[in-house]
Structure 1
């Protein structure tokens, strides 16, 4: 299985979450924890594009980097 790919299945019934820091603003990344352990990611302003689906390992690596400041702008 690919670690990241656009979703080929219908995820319209998935339960999507976004950060409380994005309340009232557009352009939010939404996350869905799928029953098979994968993670769905989508842009809430562009729902016509399919979500990306990543493995739990990829998600955990991303979170580790984000929490460690690897993606902070200079």
Structure 2
């Protein structure tokens, strides 16, 4: 799968190696991986779950 999608890093990464990359998958799902371990594990979430996560981060409403 890693070669079949377009991975991107946050513009906030500033060239740091400690980054998470994301990619949009068919059907609206989103995949995430560690930029240092590109052949490692990939976390896939439904598009709605990703949208809720991003909204929570933006609103600073995620609980600890």
Taking structure 1 as the reference length, what is the TM-score of the superposition?
Answer: 0.73
| RMSD, matched Cα | 1.7
Gaps of 5+ in 1: 1-9
Pair 1:19-2:4 in alignment? no
Between Structure 1 and Structure 2, which shows a larger proportion of helix residues? 2
Please give the residue correspondences for 1:3-14 in structure 2 after superposition, counting only pairs within 5 Å: 10-14=1-5
Ranges in structure 2 where 5+ consecutive residues have no aligned partner: none
Q: Is the counterpart of residue 61 in structure 1 residue 52 in structure 2?
A: yes
Runs of 4+ in structure 1 deviating by more than 4 angstroms, as ranges, are: none
Q: TM-score, normalised by structure 2?
A: 0.83
